[in-house]
């Protein structure tokens, strides 16, 4: 069952990569090829009911450091919120639909043409809530670098080249993923390269 789910999600990932490449004018194969051999992590989230939801955070505000997250909200309870238009807004579950979330790594691959999305999960008093997050990660040693055509003549590269291995190690050793992970990571990279 799990094997079947992963296989279907991998195919879905590659189709989404085609659409993202087309939307940026760099062709349908570019990201598809890049992510052809990528890695995946599945996380099952369980949020029990909480008598005083205002005192707890559920999953605190963060952007996902990965390339892409495909989230399945399993039941009809709301809980996922995104920060947009200056406020937190619920993303109610739609039966049969996934939420596709751009992560920090994909944002860097597009030099911020696509932005990673600030989100959180809140809990409620009455019922538990479950979700399945399918995280898409580049192969560990592949260089993350925005395609040349995404850097306009007057733009500069906003991120140094890095690998998922480096960003993963940073999120695991230095800090929990939050809303400043990628900014802190870029700072950390520039400090470590100037110390060399
Ligand atoms: C996550 C996440 C949201 C949710 O797992 O990174 O943001 O609704 N989950 O469970
Ligand atoms: Ni998340």
Long-range CB contacts (within 8 A, 24+) of 92-100: 98/12, 98/70, 98/71, 98/72, 99/69, 99/70, 99/71, 99/72, 99/73, 100/16, 100/68, 100/69, 100/70, 100/71
Contacts of 74 by beta carbon, 8 Å cutoff, 6+ apart:
93, 129, 130, 131, 132
Protein residue closest via CA to atom 6 of ligand 1: 64
Residue whose entry in the numeric block shows the structure tokens 């992970």: 181
Q: Which of 32, 43, 120, 129 is catalytic?
A: 129
**The pLDDT of residue 173:** 80
- Is 6 contained in some domain? no
Which tops the pLDDT comparison, 56 or 111? 111
Task: Please identify, by atom number, the ligand 1 atom nearest to the C-alpha of residue 79.
Answer: 8
Cα separation, 191 vs 196, whole angstroms? 9
Task: Please identify, by atom number, the ligand 1 atom nearest to the C-alpha of residue 133.
Answer: 5
The domain tally of the chain equals: 1
Query: Domain of 96: which CATH number?
Result: 2.60.120.330
- Is 26 contained in some domain? no
CA 165 – ligand 2 centroid, Å: 19
Model confidence at 195: pLDDT above 70: no
- Is 27 contained in some domain? no
- Is 36 contained in some domain? no
pLDDT band at 55 (very low <50, low <70, confident <90, very high): confident
140 is catalytic: no
Task: Give the domain range for residue 87.
Answer: 42-130+141-195
- Is 23 contained in some domain? no
Say if CB 40 and CB 3 are below 8 A apart: no
- Is 168 contained in some domain? yes
Residues 7-52 have pLDDT tens digits of: 999 999 999 999 999 999 999 999 999 999 999 999 999 999 988 8
**The pLDDT of residue 43:** 93
Model confidence at 196: pLDDT above 70: no
**The pLDDT of residue 177:** 75
Three-class DSSP category at 94: coil
**Host H or E run for residue 99:** strand 99-102
In this structure, the residues whose C-beta lies within 6 A of any atom of ligand 1 are 43, 45, 59, 64, 71, 79-80, 119, 121, 131, 133
**The pLDDT of residue 167:** 95
**The pLDDT of residue 100:** 97
Mean pLDDT of the region 147-159:
93
CA 163 – ligand 2 centroid, Å: 20
- Is 151 contained in some domain? yes
Model confidence at 56: pLDDT above 80: no
Mean of the per-residue pLDDT values of the chain: 93
């Amino acid at each position: 069952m799990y094997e079947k789910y992963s296989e279907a999600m991998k195919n879905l990932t590659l189709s989404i990569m085609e659409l993202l490449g087309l939307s940026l004018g760099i062709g349908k194969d570019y990201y598809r090829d890049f992510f052809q051999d990528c890695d995946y992590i599945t996380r099952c989230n369980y949020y029990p009911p909480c008598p005083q939801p205002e005192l707890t955070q559920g999953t605190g505000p963060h952007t996902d450091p990965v390339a892409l997250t495909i989230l399945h909200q399993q039941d009809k309870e709301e809980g996922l919120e995104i920060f947009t238009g200056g406020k937190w807004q619920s993303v109610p579950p739609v039966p049969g639909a996934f939420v596709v979330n751009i992560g920090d790594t994909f944002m860097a691959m597009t030099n911020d043409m696509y932005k990673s999305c600030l989100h959180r999960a809140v809990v409620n008093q009455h019922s538990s809530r479950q979700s399945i997050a399918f995280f898409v990660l580049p192969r560990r040693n592949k260089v993350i670098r925005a395609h040349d055509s995404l850097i306009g003549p007057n733009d500069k590269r906003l991120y140094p080249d890095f690998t998922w291995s480096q960003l993963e190690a940073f999120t695991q050793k230095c800090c929990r993923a939050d809303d400043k992970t990628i900014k802190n990571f870029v700072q950390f990279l520039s400090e470590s390269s100037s110390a060399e």
